[in-house]
Amino acid sequence: MSKNLIALQNKFLGQGQTVYDALSRLHDQQGHISDQDILELARQHDLPPAHVRATAKFYDDLAHAEPATRTLKVCIGEACRAAGCDGVMARAEAALGCEAGHVNTAGVRLEPVACLGHCGLGPNALVDGAPVSLAGPEAEARVLADLKGGPAHGLGEPKNPVYPPAAGKPSILMRHFGKGAETLAGARALGVYGALEAAVKAGSPQSIIDQVKASQLRGRGGAGFPTGIKLQTVADHDAPDGSGRRFIVVNFDEGDAGSYIDKELVERDPHTLLEGVLLAAYATGAQAAYIYARAEYPVAQRVLHDAVAEARAAGLIGAPLFGSDFACEVQVVRGKGAYICGEETSLLRSIEGVPALVSIRPPFPAQEGLVGLPHRGEQRRDPPQPLVDHAARRGGVRGPRGGQVPRHQGGEPEPPRRAARHVRGRAGRDLA
C-alpha cells in the first residue's frame, strides 16, 4: 500500500470517514456494494477507484456485489464441521436453490462464515446477522422454511455454558459473570472503574506500568510478550511528528475457530474491558483507543456498543476524568470478515481504512503503529488494576505453559514520567 494513499486516508482517522468506514456504512444500509458505489465513493474521497475497489474486495463482507434482502451464513469452523455443517450447507443449497457464495432468486444470500463462538452448540449459523444454533431436530428446518418465506424461525440466541473455577480457586477473569456487570450501574456496583479512579487521582501513570511489570503479566495473542514492556515502549516513544499522539488498540478479532474466550468476557463484563483500556491509555499518555471487534460476534458488538454509549454518557469516555485533565476517546471498529485482521499490523491497516495487508517489522507497532504513531496493541484479556493487584499479591502471573515469565532481553529502560494528555473536542464517533 502506497504511503501516500495511507496518508490520504489518515486524515479521516477517528472521524468515521475512511473509505473502510464509508464502505461499511453503505454495506450496512443496502447489503451489497455495486461498481457504481465504488466509483462514487472514489469520487467523494478523491481517491483512485482501484484503491476503493481493493479495499472493498479485501473484506468478505464488503465484497458482496449482488443485492440481497436476507442472508444465511453457515459456520464452517472446525467444531461446526465436526457437528455436520457440510450437510447443513448442502441442504441449504438445495432448499434455497443457489450455491454458497451466491444470492438466490428470492434475494437470499448463502455463504460460509467462521467462527461464531458457540462451538459447543453447533452446527451454528447467522440468520440475517443473528446467531442461531442449528443443533436439534427442528432448528435447521425452521430456518430454511423461514428463508423460503415461511413463518419466522423463532430461535433464540445461543448462550454458551460457563464453567467457573473449581471451589477454592480464585475466579479472576470470570469474577463478574452473572452479576449484572453488563450495565454501567451493575458494573459500578461491583467496583468496576474504581481502580481507574484511584489511579487517575494518584496521578502517577508510570506506577501503573510498574505494577503491570511487577505482575509479570504477558500478552495472550500468541507470543506471550510482557505487557509491561509493551506499555513502557509506547509511553517512551514520541510521535515522529512531535504531536504526542498515542493510541491504544484492542485486538478483539479472535479469528481462530474455537478461540472465543474474549467474546464471553466482552459480552458478560464489557466495562472491565473499558476500564482496562482507559487505564492503559492513562499509563501511556494515549488520547484515543480503538477496539477492533469481529463482525462474527453480533451480540458482543451490541453489548460493547451499549457499554461505550453508557460510559460516554457518564463522562468516562471522551471527557476529563476524576478532576484531572486526562481524557480518552474510545471507538469500536467493526471487522468485516477478514481473518488476517487478527494479525496486529493488518488490524491497524484496517482501522486506517485501507486493505489490511500485513506490514514488515521492525518498526514494531508499539513504536510506529496506527498512522505511524506509537500504540499499545493487546488482546482483550489485559487486566484492569484489580487484576494487577491480585497478580502482584500472588507473586506474578504464570505463563501459558506454567513457566515464570522471563525478563525482557533488552532490560527495562528507566522511563521519563509522562503526563497524560487531554484531547478536547475531538469528535470521535463510535462506529459500532
Ligand X SMILES: Cc1cc2nc3c(=O)[nH]c(=O)nc-3n(C[C@H](O)[C@H](O)[C@H](O)COP(=O)(O)O)c2cc1C
Q: Binding residues for ligand FES, per CB under 6 A? A: 75, 77-80, 114-119, 122, 124, 257-258
Beta strand 124-127 pairing with 130-133 = antiparallel
By the rule CB under 6 A, 384 interacts with ligand X: no
By the rule CB under 6 A, 220 interacts with ligand X: yes
Taking CB under 6 A as the binding criterion, the range among 87-95, 123-131, 213-221, 277-285 that sits at the site for ligand X is 213-221
Angstrom distances, CA of residue 201 to CA of 148, 204, 389 = 59, 8, 17
What gap in Å lies between CA 162 and CA 369, rounded to an integer?
Answer: 36
Taking CB under 6 A as the binding criterion, the range among 127-135, 189-197, 254-262, 275-283 that sits at the site for ligand X is 254-262
Nearest approach, Cβ of residue 330 and ligand X (Å): 18
What gap in Å lies between CA 406 and CA 174, rounded to an integer?
Answer: 26
What gap in Å lies between CA 238 and CA 415, rounded to an integer?
Answer: 12
Cβ proximity to ligand X, 87 vs 363, nearer residue: 363
By the rule CB under 6 A, 343 interacts with ligand X: yes
By the rule CB under 6 A, 374 interacts with ligand X: no
What gap in Å lies between CA 265 and CA 288, rounded to an integer?
Answer: 22
| Residue pair 54/17 in contact by the 8 Å Cβ criterion | no
Nearest approach, Cβ of residue 75 and ligand FES (Å): 3
Nearest approach, Cβ of residue 311 and ligand X (Å): 22
Question: Residue 45, CB half-sphere, CA atoms under 13 Å: how many?
Answer: 31
Taking CB under 6 A as the binding criterion, the range among 30-38, 51-59, 246-254, 276-284 that sits at the site for ligand X is 246-254
Q: Pick what 75 binds: ligand X, ligand FES, none; C-beta below 5 to 8 Å, kind-dependent.
A: ligand FES
Q: Pick what 277 binds: ligand X, ligand FES, none; C-beta below 5 to 8 Å, kind-dependent.
A: none
| Residue pair 236/322 in contact by the 8 Å Cβ criterion | no
Q: Pick what 131 binds: ligand X, ligand FES, none; C-beta below 5 to 8 Å, kind-dependent.
A: none
Instruction: Write a three-state SS string for 246-269.
Output: CEEEEEECCCCCCCCHHHHHHHHC
Q: Pick what 118 binds: ligand X, ligand FES, none; C-beta below 5 to 8 Å, kind-dependent.
A: ligand FES
Q: Pick what 78 binds: ligand FES, ligand X, none; C-beta below 5 to 8 Å, kind-dependent.
A: ligand FES
Q: Pick what 220 binds: ligand FES, ligand X, none; C-beta below 5 to 8 Å, kind-dependent.
A: ligand X
Give the CA radius of gyration of the chain.
22
List the grid coordinates of 158.
445461543
Which of 166, 167, 223, 427 is in the footprint of ligand X by CB under 6 A? Answer: 223
State how far Cα 4 lies from the chain centre: 27
By the rule CB under 6 A, 379 interacts with ligand X: yes
3-class SS at 186? helix
List the grid coordinates of 430.
463510535
Sites of contact with ligand X (CB under 6 A): 219-223, 225, 251, 253-256, 340, 342-344, 377-379
